[in-house]
Structure 1
Amino acid sequence: MSVTPIKALDSKVQEYRQVPHNLEAEQALLGAILVNNEAYYRVSDFLEPGHFHDGVHARIFDVLSQVVRAGKTATPVTLKTFLDGDPPVGDLTVPQYLTRLAAAATTVINAADYGRVVRDLATRRELIGVGEDLVNMAFEAAADQPPAKQIEVAEQRLYELAESDKYGSGFVGFAQAVRGAVDMANNAYKRDGHVSGVATGLRDVDEMLGGMQPSDLVILAGRPAMGKTALATNIAYAMAQAHKTEIQQDGREKTVNGAIVGFFSLEMSAEQLATRILSERSSIGSDRIRRGKIGQDEFQRLVDAARELEQIPLYIDATGGLTIAQLAARARRLKRQRGLDMIVVDYLQLLQGSKRAGDSRVQEITEITTGLKALAKELDVPILALSQLSRQVEARDDKRPQLADLRESGSIEQDADVVLFVYREEYYLKNRKPKEGTEDFLTWENEMEAVHGIAELIVGKQRHGPTGTVNLQFDGEFTRFSNYAHGGLPDRFE
């Protein structure tokens, strides 16, 4: 067995690779602040001591920040008290080094630019650290730790790094806030349906909610067979179909209407969900589509509907048993790769928490709803999460849902910005059919006629708007919700 000899390294070619840093920029920034403390406020909203590569510079910036924030003047003389006992910098004491920094500073005009250079290089070093940790984690992972978990951790760290690199705006003047409000109204005027959020495609619902608002957690709850999934798929399709973008001045694409939708289907497969949408769009019963009992004309309608669906930005993840951390990681990935304006979760009780020892199901649901709300704020998108209701609804004469019926945890009501209940009186009335030919049967027939094809969407909670009930038209054969026609024929849900 021969061994390949190791080639000698050429010291002239191979150079020691250092992490990205710029000591001159760090020195120039510190010098500028020492000369004029106002320069500190140009970088204080995005720069921290940990962003400095040199430990001495980090220590100086930390002390300097504390002094300035305390309302005192930071100069080499005033900082000497705090830094006199620190280790020397080369052949200079720290106070002497401060004097050298201040003497070398020529201007404070570029302080913000120096600060951004320091911050950007710190981000690159953090990125290198993530990469090194990923390599080490892959080499040293335990045998029972799946690679998917390592990928999830890496994605989360990368996304956190990307988000932390966005400088906060801090306080804004009232004039700027007013301009923002006017811009929101202008955008609402331009959007279909004139709503400030993402339009659901259901006229009366949008009028009451103003569309689905960014960063809102919207709970859609109901008993089984009420049509929660059907309503969610109808809304998701309408948003994706209406999606339009506009090129901004900086060259980026911005959604100006509709939404890129991520649909987490924990109960149904992607094919089952697609069949439902195809049924709704082609007006062919989903059971007939599954069995292939369709004619030539119907098949053509099905093909046309499928082609239309292929063009819209609706992405389905049908992985069962997801944890809230996994869902968040996949949502971040979709936003990073393809964009994301709306998330649908079907349904909340099928998500899993971290399953810490001793946690009850109530604590797990609390973790899930808190995580969903945090994710909505983090990604600045609305999240529509479906939820089951407890069986206590069935024990009442009036089976219209209430907030107290939300299953397993009060955190659902607490964390949600909007709580919607879908209710169909027709479903319950149909199961109470009396014997034909009796007086009760005639009464029952009249009641059935009055509620046939009508669904109620009850707004049980809305943090920034009214509560009440909206009537919708429901066609069970095609699992289709549409606008309720007041005194006329129902509108097709487009």
Structure 2
Amino acid sequence: MAFNIKKDLGNNRTRKPDLTTLVYGKVPPQANELEQAVLGAIMLEKDKLAEVLEIIMSADCFYVDAHQKIYGAIRRLFDKGMPVDLITVTEELRKSNDLEIVGGAFYLSRLTEHVISSAHVEAHARIVMEKFIQRELIRISGNVIADAYEDSTDVFDLLDKAESNLYEITDKHLRKNFKSLKEVLVRTVQDIEDAKNRKEDVTGVPTGFKSLDRITSGWQKNALIIVAARPAVGKTAFCLNLAMNAAMNSSKPFPVAFFSLEMGAGELVKRMLSATTEVSMDAVTKGRMQEHEFIQMTQRMTKLASAPIFLDDQAALNIFELRAKARRLKQRHDIQLIIIDYLQLMQADINKGGNREQEISKISRDLKSLAKELEIPIIALSQLNRSVESRKESKMPQLSDLRESGAIEQDADMVMFLYRPEYYGINNDEMGNPIEGETHINIAKNRSGQTDVVKVQFIKEFQRFIDLDTDDFNRGGTNGGGMQPGPHPGDNPQAAFRNRDVSNFGDSKMYLPGNFQTMPSKASQYDFSDEDDLTPPFKRPGSAPSSEDTPF
């Protein structure tokens, strides 16, 4: 009878594919004798266990069910700090009522008796691991085949799922080799020399705020940074400003990936347009802008159109999907910063028995692991507990206010809180001066430096944060920060961007969820070569702006 894969797999998506059917009746890849040799060697020589544990990290890697139970007992003994030998393993299996299932003490004894030499146990363990990976590839491929036959399947979601599942094998079962001290030392000295020769103080990705860069020296590699605040304080606007400051840095643009689980990509772009072009958010959203505002927006959007910012607005993103997308963006576009809005909306993909606190703990650990793997900083937004509202004393957020998990504080290299006094009805300082928009950035944890409070100004109308540095009027940040207005916009809203370099840097890049490609923004279809030439589509029928309406 012919093998009908569509009939066997497509009609029942919930059924686990039969591995033997998938390979046309062949027995799945396995190495039964080597599994026996590995288990026997472990029980004979205690020094061999450490070698095997570095290679085989899960009992599921064994094909024979009895061998899985035996290795599971060995792992439990090791975790409890107990010796591993024939007697202790036998007793551990007896406690778990698995001794008779695996074949009794007689079978365990046979495993040790048939070990001729344990000298090659590491090589044997690697073969066992390779066979497991082969079986996993068959399983994942079978699921992909089954889903691919379904007409309702989104092919891009399927690709993303397949990539996530493949990466999960690497993440859970394969470890990187050790690095020698010499290798790390050479690289570290090179980094120190580069920092010594650098004229500016920023050694990482610039924040765009001079006062913040003084404390952080920019966002550093391998760091997990948490930005937390109560709703409506301006977390998303702040992190969009961070993304633009990095990607539009005049001395060196830093590619940024922005994962938004709350807002759509269109809403994010509107906020960025308002911040960059200095046209009010209300006017951009409703499209009800003055003629000079429309001209101003079209003339000043060039740099935003060329910024290497990649947007992904997939809702309910899980950690494996994010990891797969981040790795792809790193390979293709060498992203230097990831921003996630926000952490509590992510899914952890752990067993359903776990509570939400355990999920958040896993997400924070995985984000820290991803930052180390890609060697880039990751900024994750986070919500705060409502307890901050009920405090009678200062409303300035504290580490204990982080929502749902103390693990966030533990895993993060830096924790920053945004606090706006006017959010709590405080509209004047001690001297009676108005403090509308004043925002305090409380660096409550900084693993690599000092903690402090930095003040910036939030211009809500434009969804833009500016530096309140008193040294000079370069409020766009240090090091050629991306959005660098001259005078304060409150002094002259039209003057802030007059002196900016608006040369065209090329196509913008927006990463569209599900499409698995980077696509140029529609803005790049228009000719910005002459910003004073208002040719279609920017020239409105019958419009003839006067010179006083033109901001440049």
The match for 2:142 is 136
Whole-Å separation in 2 of the counterparts to 1:352 and 1:162: 20
Q: Which runs of 5+ in 1 are unaligned?
A: 1-43, 50-84, 88-93, 99-118, 245-256, 432-443
2:401 matched to 1:405? Answer: yes
Offset of residue 269 of structure 1: 1.0
Moved more, 180-189 or 233-242: 180-189
Residue matched to 1:228: 235
The separation in 2 between residues aligned to 1:289 and 1:192, in whole angstroms, is 39
Which SS does the other structure have where 1:275 is aligned? helix
Of residues 144-153 and 407-416 in structure 1, the stretch that sits farther from structure 2 once superposed is 144-153
Indicate how the Cα distance of structure 1 residues 237 and 448 shifts in structure 2: closer, same or farther if over 3 A, else same.
farther
Q: Distance in 1 between matches of 2:163 and 2:181?
A: 32
Quote the offset at 1:218 in angstroms.
0.3
CA contact (8 A) 1:323 1:352 kept: yes
Change (3 A) 1:167 1:351: closer
Describe the shift of the 1:490–1:170 C-alpha distance in structure 2 as closer, same or farther (beyond 3 A).
closer
Letter in structure 1 aligned against 2:232: A
TM-score w.r.t. the length of structure 2 is 0.57
Which of 255, 277, 282 does residue 277 from structure 2 map onto?
282
* Alpha-carbon distance between aligned partners in 2 of 1:160 and 1:487, rounded to the nearest angstrom: 50
Q: Per the alignment, in what secondary structure is the counterpart of residue 159 of structure 2? A: helix
| Correspondence 1:244-263 to 2 at 5 A | 257-263=252-258
Aligned to 1:486: 470
Map 1:245-324; keep pairs closer than 5 Å.
257-324=252-319
> Which of 199, 204, 225 is 1:218 aligned to?
225
Q: In 1, Cα distance between the equivalents of 2:136 and 2:304?
A: 38
Which residue identity does 2:248 align to in structure 1? Q
Tell me by how many angstroms 1:198 deviates.
Answer: 1.2
Contact 1:215 / 1:377 at 8 angstroms: preserved in 2? yes
1:188 matched to 2:172:
no
**Which has the bigger relative contact order, CA under 8 A and spacing at least 6?**
2
**8 A contact 2:161–2:321 mirrored in 1:** no
Q: Contact 1:365/1:409 (CA < 8 Å) preserved in 2?
A: yes
Q: Deviation per CA, 1:82-136, whole angstroms, max 9, x where unpaired?
A: xxx899xxxxxx9xxx9xxxxxxxxxxxxxxxxxxxx9xxxx9999988766553
> Does residue 1:203 correspond to 2:210, yes or no?
yes
CA contact (8 A) 2:316 2:347 kept: yes
* Residue 247 (structure 1) aligns with: none
Residue 156 (structure 1) aligned with residue 164 (structure 2):
yes
CA distance in structure 2 between the partners assigned to 1:426 and 1:483 by the alignment: 18
| Cα offset, 1:295, TM superposition | 2.4
CA gap 1:366/1:312 in 2 versus in 1, 3 angstroms: same
Distance 1:364 1:472 in 2: 33
More helix by share: 1
Q: Percent identity?
A: 35
The CA deviation at 1:322 is 1.3
Counterpart position of 2:356 = 361
Residue type matched to 1:407 in 2? R
Counterpart for residue 429 of structure 1? 425
Which structure 2 residue ranges, 5 or more long, are not aligned? 1-50, 57-113, 121-125, 477-482, 485-552
Aligned to 1:37: none
- Return the alpha-carbon distance in structure 1 between the equivalents of residues 314 and 266 of structure 2: 12
In the superposition, relative to structure 1, how do residues 359 and 220 fare at CA in structure 2: closer, same or farther (>3 Å)?
Answer: same
Higher-Rg member (1/2): 1
Deviations 1:275-322 (A, max 9, x none): 111111111111111122222332122123333222111011111111
Q: Please report how far the alpha carbon of residue 374 of structure 1 lies from its aligned counterpart in structure 2 after TM superposition.
A: 1.6
Q: Is the CA contact (8 Å cut-off) linking 1:234 and 1:480 kept in structure 2?
A: yes
Could you report, residue by residue, the CA deviation over 1:241-273 in whole angstroms, capped at 9, with x for unpaired residues? 1287xxxxxxxxxxxx44211101111111111
The letter for the 2-side match of 1:357 is: K
Match of 1:13 in 2: none
Following the alignment from structure 1 to structure 2, what is the Cα–Cα distance between the partners of residues 344 and 220? 10
> Which of 320, 336, 354 lines up with 1:325 in the alignment?
320
Counterpart CA distance in 2 for 1:445 and 1:465 is 29
After TM superposition, the structure 1 stretch with the greater mean CA deviation from structure 2, 408-417 or 142-151, is 142-151
Q: Which residue matches 2:458?
A: 474
Give how far 1:478 is off: 1.0
| Separation in 2, partners of 1:348, 1:168 | 30
Quickly say closer, same or farther: Cα 1:165–1:313, change in 2 above 3 A.
Answer: farther
* TM-score computed with the length of structure 1 as normaliser: 0.63
2:549 is matched with which residue?
Answer: none
> Cα gap change, 1:320/1:86 in structure 2, threshold over 3 Å: closer, same or farther?
closer
What amino acid sits opposite 1:170 in the alignment? K
